[in-house]
Structure 1
Amino acid sequence: MPDDERRRPPGASAARAAGRIAETLADTRSRDSATFAVDLVSRLLPEVALPPDEGDRLLRSVAAKVVKSQHLRDIEPLFREVPDGVPEPAVELRACLLGELALIGSGPGRRSLEAYAEKLRELGHPLARLPGARLDIEHRFAVRVRGLGSVKSAKQLRSRFPEAPSTDGGAVADCGAGDARDDGRVPDDFGISFIKELSLRCLAGEGSRRGSTLACVTTPDDVLNELFSASYVGGVNGHGQGGAYARLYAWESFYALMGLPTDVPLLEAARHAADYRWLRFMAFTDWFHHDTSDLAFAVLDPTRTRVAVLAATDTDVHRDALG
């Protein structure tokens, strides 16, 4: 018997089969189907020791399918009783349901849903930090627009975003720039010349392949949407996190890029984001493959003293060395 089969907990195969039944029920439009799907998963997960990531995926998948397939009037009865604790799968599933409903703008004004959400906030559930309706800055979440897929080439990047011209002032960052205030530089110096001075792994070997390094000015909603999409889709070899958690993870990354404490309200963070300077960049190095979803962002804060860089690629051979 293969080693991975020996490591599977007892009953895991039956639990996976039950999980597939729950997903099918969730996809079938009727109040009974929604109730049975939620009840099946809520009872299944405490009794069978599935790996945590697998159990999470099942909960989030059922929640997403229920919200996509069922009428709100058939989802409401699932929230008749408020929770008395967070860890139970039944509570987690309903938290995901609320998160998925928020993304489609459904649920505000429904007393039972709002009471449940308020209780989750009291209990400190991580998803309860998010507003019950999509913010304007989130307008692109899970929205597909024909012709606007991943940016894979310099031509695509230039066609969709204004290029940030390279300046002489940007090319004097040096390795000490992280600790030194430089009042002589202006925001326009924050471009590809500056980024190339930051000793980033993703730019190692720049110039070894045909093509030039490029940076374009982008917007906070573009960055936030890309962060959401990365979690929502899950990458080439990964697994999507579901809309509710993809939204949470996107905001957590967004806060980290801006250096904001987590107690800043989301609307305040969205307001502050307009004062930052946001860049997308790409290079022609071994790190960038230009065939899947290479992402690279650089962010300059309003004080012009802090730069944050996030770079990720689905085909990075050094998975522990992003950026």
Structure 2
Amino acid sequence: MSHNQETPGDSCPDRHRREESQYQAELAPEAMYEAAVRLCTAGDGSHGASAARTVARIAETLADTRSRDCVMFAADIVGRLLPGGVMSHGEGDRLLRSVAAKLVKAQHLRDIEPLFRELPDGISAPAVDLRACLLGELALIGSGGGRRSLEMYAEKLRELGHPLARLPGTRLDIEHRFTVRVRGLGPIKTAKQLRSRFPEAPSTDGGAVAGRGARDARDDVRANTAVRPFRAGGWAREPEARFFTLSSPLSPDDFGISFIEELPLRCLAGEGSRRGSALACATTPDDVLNELFSTSYVGGVNGQGQGGAYARLYAWESFYALMGLPTGVPLLEAVRRAADHRWLRFMAFTDWFHHDTSDLAFAVLDPTRTRVAVLAATDTDIHRGALG
């Protein structure tokens, strides 16, 4: 099964293919940059999408090639040269974020620092967003601290209200698993895997009774924020985010799969073709936050990884939405409050889940024990048209 779909421009004239091969083979940064300039300024009409893809590959190659010139060339391509209207908004964002991530991974900080000599006077320009992404990527690797030009730029972004500027310049302890891959800890696809990693939350009659009495508390804004990491990452099925209120506090012992199964959730409808019983296991805030980060950092089967800076932002926004916190609550305060919530992972064998590439489902009980949030998402490489 292929994850890549043919896109417009794949049948472009041989001339464009030859040019691209030549530009990539030359390996001289100046020649590659000049090729990108020509393609960005040619106004090639029907071949604009093909040219944009070539320019994107040049930008990423330059970002991966260690030298100060390559830093400047790659930044200029995605921050200034790439013509608007050729790439979709999402494609342009992903390229910019990819280049930022590659620059931080491949380049010396001393060669990145000159990009921050001039302070921005607004946040709408791609060049400004690139630098905001660079600061975000540096924060995730614990680099850039004490560099005055970087700190001044970050402060200016906070003044201007750039969304990435609300995140701290250093990784928090709760973020310790971000970008870290551990062998043997891939996606959980089976009940056995879930039970092996997390303690099971037993079923209770009291939980079932409480679940049947839960009231739907629809909040579309909150739901859209909660599912944003999955949409940004290109997960195959539209995620489900639901919120419920209870007439009386729920005992923590009753917060388990018997409670969840009584909720009117789309992800639990249908019997499914796979055999197995639904189950829920207790988890921790850092586990949930890391999964939210990974969904858009790695991306779904359609390969829409967002880079570390925005994946971090989307994860925190979703995390806040699950807890029902206003955006003005400081992150460290949110971490403190998260410890007072109850967090569950759950799994079901219904038509909704695929148990194929990635399935995630969480339920969160607030400290008053009267409000519950549920977030479920599934990813697969079967044809998207077959999904409901």
Give me the TM-score of the superposition, normalised by structure 2.
Answer: 0.77
Corresponding position of 1:72:
109
In the alignment, the residues of structure 2 paired with residue 3 and residue 72 of structure 1 have an alpha-carbon distance, to the nearest angstrom, of 36
1:181 paired residue among 247, 263, 267: 247
Offset at residue 30 of structure 1 (A): 1.2
Asked if 1:19 corresponds to 2:84, the answer is: no
Give the deviation of 1:98 after TM superposition. Answer: 0.6
What is aligned with 1:61?
98
Match of 1:160 in 2: 197
- SS across alignment from 1:81: coil
Superposition pairs of residues 192-231 of structure 1, within 5 angstroms? 192-206=257-271, 209-231=274-296
Distance in 2, matches of 1:109 and 1:280, equals 40
Alpha-carbon distance between aligned partners in 2 of 1:209 and 1:31, rounded to the nearest angstrom:
54
Tell me how far apart the structure 2 counterparts of residues 42 and 313 of structure 1 sit (CA, whole Å).
Answer: 34
Q: 1:190 aligns with which of 241, 255, 268?
A: 255
Q: Which amino acid aligns with 1:156?
A: Q
* Partner in structure 2 of residue 270 of structure 1: 335
Is the contact made by 1:202 and 1:285 (CA closer than 8 Å) also made in structure 2? yes
**Gap runs ≥5 in structure 2:** 1-5, 10-44, 216-244
Shift of 1:51: 1.3
- Structure 1 vs Structure 2 CA RMSD: 2.2
Contact 2:277 2:349 in 1 (8 A): yes
TM-score, length-scaled by structure 1: 0.92
Partner of 1:285: 350
1:291 and 1:209, CA in 2 relative to 1: closer, same or farther beyond 3 A? closer
* Offset of residue 41 of structure 1: 1.8
Alignment partner for residue 40 of structure 1, among 77, 82, 86?
77
Deviations 1:161-213 (A, max 9, x none): 00111111101025542254224x41110000000010211111248642111
Pair 1:99-2:164 in alignment: no
Q: Deviations over 1:257-287 (max 9, x none)?
A: 0000111011110110000000000011121
Q: Is the 8 A contact 1:258 1:273 kept in 2?
A: yes
Asked if structure 2 preserves the Cα contact closer than 8 Å seen for 1:23 and 1:37, the reply is yes
Indicate conservation of the 8 Å contact 2:140/2:171, yes or no: yes
Name 1:118's counterpart in structure 2: 155
Partner of 1:241: 306
**Comparing both chains, which one has the higher relative contact order based on Cα–Cα distances under 8 Å and sequence gaps of 6 or more?**
2
Match of 2:66 among 29, 36, 39: 29
> 2:349 aligned with 1:312, yes or no?
no
Q: Identify the residue that residue 35 of structure 2 maps to in structure 1.
A: none
5+ residue gaps, structure 1: none
Taking a change above 3 Å as real, the CA distance of residues 213 and 84 of structure 1, as seen in their structure-2 partners, is: same
Say yes or no: does 1:297 pair with 2:334: no
Distance 2:358 2:175 in 1: 20
Task: Quickly say closer, same or farther: Cα 1:242–1:275, change in 2 above 3 A.
Answer: same
- CA deviation vs aligned residue, 1:90-123 (integer Å, no higher than 9, x gap): 1111111111111111111111101000000111
Query: How many residues are treated as equivalent by the alignment?
Result: 318
- Give the % identical residues: 80
User: Within 2, Cα distance between the matches of 1:9 and 1:192?
Assistant: 55
More deviation in 208-217 or 192-201?
Answer: 208-217
CA contact (8 A) 1:9 1:50 kept: no
* Amino acid corresponding to residue 182 of structure 2 in structure 1: V
Match of 2:320 in 1: 255
Q: How does 1:135-150 map to 2 (within 5 A)?
A: 135-150=172-187
Q: C-alpha separation between the residues in 1 aligned to 2:193 and 2:211?
A: 30
Change (3 A) 1:216 1:3: closer
Which moves more between the two structures, 185-194 or 309-318?
309-318
Task: Give the alignment partner of residue 131 of structure 1, picking from 165, 168, 171.
Answer: 168
Cα distance between partner residues in 2 of 1:133 and 1:275: 24
2:283 is matched by which residue type in structure 1? T
Report the alpha carbon displacement of residue 89 of structure 1 after superposing the two structures with TM: 1.1
Q: In structure 1, the residue corresponding to 2:356 is in which secondary structure?
A: coil
How big is the shift at 1:13?
A: 2.5
Relative distance call for 1:149 and 1:180 in structure 2 (3 A) is closer
Deviates more, 1:284-293 or 1:60-69: 284-293
Residues 234-266 of structure 1 deviation map (CA, whole Å, 9 limit, x = unaligned): 111240111100000000100000000111011
Contact 1:45–1:89, Cα closer than 8 Å, also in 2: no
User: How many Å separate the matches in 2 of 1:259 and 1:62?
Assistant: 34
Q: What's the secondary structure of 2:93's corresponding residue?
A: helix
Q: 1:135 to 1:318 in 2, by over 3 A?
A: farther
